Structure 1
Amino acid sequence: MNREKKFLTKDLKMVVLAKIFTTILISTIGFVVLLALLELIYHQFTFYEEDIVYMLAQVVKNYLPCLFVIIWLIDIIYVILFYWKKSWGYTEVMMYASKQLIADDDKLIHLPVELKEVEEQMNQVKMNAVKNARIAKEAEQRKNDLIVYLAHDLKTPLTSVIGYLTLLHDEQQISNELREKYLSISLNKAERLEELINEFFEITRFNLTQLTFEPSSINLTRMLEQISYEFKPMFETKNLNCNLKVDPDIQIKCDVNKMERVFDNLIRNAIHYSFENSTIKITAEKKSNGVYICFSNEGNTIPEEKLNRIFEQFYRLDSSRDTKTGGSGLGLAIAKKIIELHKGTINAYSENERIDFKIFIPTLS
């Protein structure tokens, strides 16, 4: 905001200087035109040497350069003094406008007509600030809601684990079949508990401004092959097929750990939102300006209003309070930030029961 204020102050100075220059230019042209008209009128009449008009005309003619410079300097001084005095009025207007700029409302700022350009820029700055504040507030609210939901959902698996372990401890004569059943349930609940705790850690350590960039040269083809292979057990749980179509030996410069996190998150999302018995497609194509990567899966079409917010912090496609249906809502926000650290872009598309995440990573020197 402070930097934008400096730009606006600079713009105001430029407006005043532009008006001074324009006024001087117009008055100079006007003076030259006036002299030309006077000379034209003078030559329309016949004067004698003893005529006062003739004598004045000769004086003007003899000292025209000096007179022109004197009048021009007087004109400049007058214009500067006029706008200098007027700028004090601008200062008061701008001070009031500055207060409006930081006011916690969405009221537009109004300036004099001659400051229309500055007015438009100030309103743009204010609207951006209001929008960013609203987005931050909504993200904070989603974060707080999610923490409440996670805290609530932690109780269920924890209570189940304690309950089944208590049964195993107290019932010494329990059958092996029942013991295995209770242990299996306890293990599943403990794993769910671990997922929820990991989401808590993800939220508490989340800070996009602290992401660092440590690039190194890697083989993207092998990275995608390895990561997709590691998800094979998860593919099998929904009977999914992974179709990997990647150009051979794609070499890129990137932050390996962070890029792995992006791909990991996108594949997890694809699995989570895929229809059973469908195919997840991963493609990567090397071009002269960079690499184009696409993660595509068959699933319910995402509505446009949700698609537009999919990269917001703590935003979850499933807005229900059940945390089993989604993560912390940080994965895609972090993925977008990581891709932007690489000077790239990531976009989401969804239509006809298909979801695509398209990434572009430019060639880094």
Structure 2
Amino acid sequence: MKIFVRRIFFHILSRFVLGVTIFSIVLMVIGYLVDDVIKSFANYEVFKFMDYNKSILFPVIWLLGCFTILVWHWIKTIKYIAIVAEASNSLINSDEEIIHFPLILKEMEDQMNNLRVHVLRKEQIAKEAEQRKNDLVIYLAHDLKTPLTSVIGYLTLLRDEQQISDELKERYVSISLEKAERLEDLINEFFEITRFSLSNLTLELSSVNLTRMLEQIAYEFRPMLAPKNLKCDLKAPSDVMIKCDVKKMERVFDNLMRNAINYSFEDSSITITLSQDESGVKLKFSNYGNTIPEEKLQRIFEQFYRLDTARTSKTGGAGLGLAIAKEIVQLHKGTITAFSKSDVIEFEVFIPVGL
């Protein structure tokens, strides 16, 4: 904006000086020609007055002309400001029409149009995120009803049916427990949505043995691997130490493991690879699953975005896990990226040293 104001000022100043110069030359020529005319008609009172007062008259005319030129350029400046102000209002109102300025404001026109495109894109992204959030609340509310209905149904059978065998009772209790656990997961999703404010995350740094942490996570996820007959292979040097927020980093790895399990083929393996150099540590979570299209990879870390848009009980979530993982990694001044090719899905996390 300062460059714009400076450019307008110098443009108006140069035009004013040019206008005054041209006006002065024209006035001098007119004065020279009129002087002969005045002398020819010196007998007339008007011309006699002009001849007598020409030393005052011409400077007054010159000053009036300069003032007129100044006012004219000042009015043009006000018009330029009005044009820019109107364009600013169109940005505020998210007007999709292309902004057009006079040639002198060409650079400002380009900047305003670029800003307009940026604002419209941000607005569209915000609308899509809000729509996904609203849809997820509706879907989760619907999903809550399904396991709750099942739990109530099986518990009602256990209460009302006196002749149920012990085997069937055990089966009903097992199903009820499974549905209740699913209900708990969905309720946690609701809490996650209400708590979701990544900007408020802060780090509590401490030194941790990353190798041991990954070993513990791989062990704790064994029960979740069993239903799909998955294996988890950890490839890591011994005793790799890093400085991080342990609880939040555990959450990152937890989210990545859950994601790998949810989107893995049955009877396949998940590989966690850890390496270290002088710049930091690099972790890779790889699994075999359906290749993720590039357009989905570009949005995979967005808030409330889900790879699986269908409402399934096994992979259904609020679409917050990877968004939170990315924010936590970035708070550690690191990076997290996703790759997918030839039925291989890979997430790579880099945490620098010197936090």
TM-score between both structures, scaled by the size of structure 1: 0.76
Deviation at residue 173 of structure 1 after TM alignment = 3.3
Give percent identity, aligned residues only: 62
Return the alpha-carbon distance in structure 2 between the equivalents of residues 341 and 15 of structure 1. Answer: 41
Deviation at 1:306, TM superposition (A): 1.4
- Does residue 360 (structure 1) correspond to residue 350 (structure 2)? The answer is yes
User: Secondary structure of the equivalent of 2:349?
Assistant: strand
Match for residue 306 of structure 1 among 285, 296, 300? 296
Work out whether 1:317 is the aligned partner of 2:307: yes
Secondary structure at 1:356 match in 2: strand
Mark the runs of 5 or more structure 1 residues left unpaired by the alignment. Answer: 1-8, 28-79
Alignment pair present for 1:189 and 2:189: no
Kindly indicate whether the alpha-carbon contact (under 8 Å) linking 1:102 and 1:126 is maintained by their aligned counterparts in 2: no
Structural RMSD (CA): 2.7
CA distance in 2, matches of 1:361, 1:86: 56
Tell me the equivalent position of 1:284: 274
Out of 105, 127, 131, the position equivalent to 2:121 is: 131
> In 2 relative to 1, CA 17–224 (structure 1 residues): closer, same or farther, beyond 3 Å?
farther
Question: Which residue does the alignment assign to 1:12?
Answer: 4
Equivalent residue pairs, number: 306
1:199 corresponds to: 189
2:145 to 151, 155, 165: 155
Q: Displacement, 1:299?
A: 0.5
Of 79, 82, 90, the residue aligned with 1:89 is 79
Contact 2:270–2:285 (8 Å) recurs in 1: yes
Deviation at 1:271, TM superposition (A): 0.8
- Quote the residue 2:105 is aligned against: 115
SS in 1 for 2:186: helix
Cα pair 1:11 1:118 within 8 Å, conserved: no
The structure that has the greater radius of gyration is 2
After superposition, the Cα gap between the structure-2 partners of 1:138 and 1:171, relative to the gap in structure 1 and judged at 3 Å, is: same
Give 1:251-290 correspondences, 5 Å limit: 251-290=241-280
Contact 2:94 2:119 in 1 (8 A): no
Q: Which amino acid aligns with 1:15?
A: R
Which digits, 9 at most, give the CA deviation of each residue in 1:180-228, with x for residues without a partner?
1111111111111111111111112112222223322222222222212
Once residues 264 and 243 of structure 1 are traced to their aligned partners in structure 2, the CA distance between those partners, rounded to angstroms, is 15
SS of 2:303 mapped into structure 1: coil
Q: How high is the TM-score relative to the length of structure 2? A: 0.78
**Conserved? CA contact 1:345–1:361, under 8 Å:** yes
Structure 1 residues 214 and 123: CA distance shift in structure 2, 3 A: farther
Alpha carbons 1:350, 1:356 under 8 Å: kept: yes
Cα distance in 2 for partners of 1:112, 1:350 equals 49
CA distance change for structure 1 residues 180 and 207 in 2, over 3 Å: closer, same or farther? Answer: same
Matches within 5 A, 1:177-256: 177-256=167-246
Asked whether the 8 Å contact 1:143–1:314 carries over to 2, the reply is yes
Deviation at 1:316, TM superposition (A): 0.9
Is the CA contact 1:313–1:329 (under 8 Å) kept in the aligned structure 2? yes
Aligned to 2:39: none
Measured in 2, the distance between the counterparts of 1:114 and 1:14 equals: 12
CA positional deviation for 1:107: 2.2
Q: Secondary structure at the match of 2:333?
A: coil
Using a 3 Å threshold, how does the CA distance of structure 1 residues 17 and 243 change in structure 2: closer, same or farther?
Answer: farther
Deviation at 1:14, TM superposition (A): 4.3
Letter in 2 for 1:236: A
Distance 2:3 2:162 in 1: 83
Residue 154 of structure 2 is aligned with which of 145, 164, 169? 164
> Residues 12 and 77 of structure 2 are in contact (CA less than 8 Å); yes or no, is this contact kept in structure 1?
no
Letter in 1 for 2:2: K
C-alpha change, 1:19 and 1:226, in structure 2 (3 Å) is: farther
